[in-house]
Amino acid sequence: MKAMFPKLRFALLAATLLWIKTYIIYKLVFDIKTANAMQEFILCINPLSSLLLFIGLALFADKKRNRLILLISFLLSVLLLANAIFYGFFNDFMTLPVLFQTNNIPDLGTSIQELITYKILLMFGDVLILWFINRLFPNFGHKEKLNRNEKSAFFLTVTSIFIINLVLAETQHPQLLSRSFDRKTIVKNLGLYNYQIYDIALQSRSSAQHAFASSNEFAEIENYATTKEKEPNKALFGIAKNKNVIIISMESTQSFAIGNKVNGKEVTPFLNEFIKESYSFTNFYHQTGQGKTSDAEFIIENSLYPLDRGSVFFTHYANEFTATPEILKDYGYYSAVFHSNNKSFWNRDLMYPSLGYSRYFNQNDYIGTQQNSVGWGLKDKEFFEQSIPKLKALPQPFYTKFITLTNHFPFILDEKDRLIDEYNSESEILNRYFPTVRYTDEAIKYFVKRLKEEGLYDNTIIVIYGDHYGISENHNAALAQFLGKDQITPYDSMQLQRVPLIIHIPGQKGGTISKIAGQIDVKPTLLHLLGVSTNKTVEFGTDLFTEEANPIVVMRDGSFVTNRYVFTKNICYSKETKEPIEAAYCTPYAEKAKAELQYSDKIIYGDLLRFDQSNQHNSRAMTTAFE
């Protein structure tokens, strides 16, 4: 063993420095919490096996071994940095499909710039230390080749460390490797680098699912989906038959901003009034995953769950879907999307035809975008103003979707457009959030006013929803201050995933509905209002206006909310006391949540809707390019 150490000295130093750095990042950037000493021990040792494995690859080299160790350390540091930046915005870890979303990168400039600080760049300090040691003390990195027995002993040790790690992790979280949707738990127990290897294996498995999918799989899921209680509210079924539809996606808007005030001024004065003449859902949750806005679009129009990794818009845009715009073509509807961003962002130019859209108004259809843009694209008011003539020219009835942009991280707004002052807290992100929400509220007010002037308002259903959270858990301290709480608990974090849903139906007075609901329920609700039956449609949502005995909203990470319980971060909470209770209370719902997520994944990964005999559409053949 003593003879081996000089040969391994430089490699072990590199692995140790990366190990220490990774653990620090776990605690300070990823804010990984542990419940007991064993979990802390697992968190501490979990990077070790993969770091030794990757660094150990350099041991097969001779003269250039130290340079290769430096290169591997640098690449692993880049991977750690990328995850730190990604986590800062999405509160999640990167997956392989995300790495292929390269055409999104040019539009992420302001968001990434906000997250890169000198503290993050210090993560390359260990690489600099290794470089100096290699330059100043060349004999420290012994270059003598390891013999076969020494290599075997090294990699046997690496394997042993991983097995010990895995066994200990399984004692804390049984069936850990079946929880692919719960990335945080896997990273917490197996480590970030082992997770990346695991993710590659998942990608290989999902790629094979399409080739081996069969109609029998679809039949099983179809039987489950079509036997669910799907009877719509009879009083409202068909109440809006042949009406136009306008859906407005409110970027990053959470429910805590609705009806609240900052410095004595309302954050959403227009929506506060609009709600009074509409149906407003106060317990409506976003259910997005890594695809964020694109996930929200996918859920809203397909009543399927998003993927546990990446975005359906990127990974499965060529699938067969039975989305709302495609279904409504049989009822004479013309469909269009309005979005002033790059047409390829989130792969929309390829995905929208698969959803059945006839027209996509994108950045190329708008003028003055540079002069009137902020952050991610055309400011919302200018966007709506230019969209009105395009909307009015569409054949009626139409089904349309408008995607707003101004209220996007990092929430930058020109001084002239600020209608309220920033909030005052330690979080600049939260402080800037409220003025941008206020601006979007004013833009929607303008849009509704124009709809009335153009004679479209009285013949149009207007659906307004929040697409995903805007303020991540990284800003919990500031959020606690705003909400008047001592701290934000996991229970509170789940409640903060509520987003607005407002449905305005011409001729209906509306009202406030407190039913537990999610984005997955919008498709059947809207189709029922339009008089379209969904009894034979494979979907997982239910009509929002129908009373349910045991409603459940399932999140992409396996968390869920019911009338009585909240399950999040593997903890079961009572909604009555807002305190943790025995896990057994949540177990029956957890099994249902897991089953639905797995069924939905099978539909997407296997492209199972191609086996749906009741679906006479073929969106890929029908629409291959936009007008």
pLDDT value at residue 118:
56
Of how many residues is the chain composed?
A: 627
Is 221 part of a structural domain of the chain?
no
353 falls in which pLDDT band (50, 70, 90)?
Answer: very high
Q: Please count the CA atoms within 13 angstroms of the CA of 562 that sit on its side-chain side.
A: 18
Contact 508, 239 (CB under 8 A): yes
Is 156 part of a structural domain of the chain?
yes
pLDDT value at residue 112:
54
Is 589 part of a structural domain of the chain?
no
Is 298 part of a structural domain of the chain?
yes
Taking the C-alpha atoms of 133, 139, 142 and 144 in order, what is their torsion angle to the nearest 10 degrees? Answer: 150
Decide: pTM greater than 0.85.
no
Is 604 part of a structural domain of the chain?
no
Lowest model confidence (mean pLDDT) among 305-314, 455-464, 574-583: 305-314
* CATH number of the domain that residue 317 is part of: 3.40.720.10
What span, in angstroms and rounded, lies between the C-alpha atoms of 308 and 346?
16
pLDDT value at residue 627:
47
Which of 46-55, 191-200, 309-318 has the largest mean confidence? 46-55
Q: Closest by alpha carbon to 289, among 498, 540, 523, 95?
A: 95
Q: How many domains does the chain have?
A: 2
Q: Domain check: are 372 and 439 in the same one?
A: yes
Q: Domain check: are 254 and 179 in the same one?
A: no
Q: Domain check: are 178 and 287 in the same one?
A: no
4 falls in which pLDDT band (50, 70, 90)?
Answer: low
Other beta carbons within 10 angstroms of residue 365's beta carbon come to 15
Collapse the DSSP code of 585 into the 3-class scheme (helix H, G, I; strand E, B; otherwise coil) and give the result: helix
Q: Domain check: are 297 and 176 in the same one?
A: no
* pLDDT over 70 (residue 119): no
Distances in Å between the Cα of 583 and the Cα atoms of 54, 178, 549, 555, 601 are 38, 19, 21, 18, 25
358-377 confidence digits (pLDDT tens): 999 998 999 876 656 666 67
The domain in which residue 10 lies consists of 5-208
Q: Which helix (H) or strand (E) holds 176?
A: none
Q: Domain check: are 273 and 175 in the same one?
A: no
* pLDDT over 90 (residue 233): no
**N-terminal to C-terminal alpha carbon distance within the chain:** 71
* Cis omega (within 30 of 0) for bond into 506: no
DSSP assignment of 372-387 equals TEETTEE-HHHHHHHH
Q: Domain check: are 166 and 255 in the same one?
A: no
- Beta 398-403 vs 244-250: how paired, if at all? parallel
Distances in Å between the Cα of 366 and the Cα atoms of 105, 315, 382, 389 are 22, 28, 9, 11
Is 396 part of a structural domain of the chain?
yes
Q: Domain check: are 167 and 255 in the same one?
A: no
Q: Domain check: are 180 and 324 in the same one?
A: no
pLDDT value at residue 181:
56
Alpha helices in 29-100 (DSSP H): 37-45, 48-56, 65-90, 96-99
540-569 confidence digits (pLDDT tens): 999 999 988 889 999 999 999 999 999 999
Q: Domain check: are 472 and 350 in the same one?
A: yes
Active site residue 436: no
Greater model confidence, 176 or 596: 596
Which of 118-132, 197-211, 548-562 has the largest mean confidence? 548-562
* pLDDT over 90 (residue 2): no
Instruction: Count helices and strands (H / E) in the chain.
Output: 24, 19
Final residue of a domain: which of 174, 208, 242?
208
453-497 confidence digits (pLDDT tens): 999 999 999 999 999 999 999 899 999 999 999 999 999 999 999
Is 625 part of a structural domain of the chain?
no
Burial of 381 (0-12, 13-18, 19+ CB in 10 A): buried
Q: Domain check: are 437 and 467 in the same one?
A: yes
CA 312 to chain centre: 11
Compute φ and ψ for 451, nearest 5 degrees: -60, -40
Helices 125-136 and 65-90: crossing angle in degrees, nearest 10, is: 170
Q: Domain check: are 291 and 241 in the same one?
A: yes
Is 202 part of a structural domain of the chain?
yes
Final residue of a domain: which of 530, 547, 564?
547
Q: Domain check: are 241 and 201 in the same one?
A: no
Final residue of a domain: which of 483, 513, 547?
547
pLDDT value at residue 373:
64
pLDDT value at residue 370:
61
**Set 22, 253, 293, 568: catalytic member:** 293
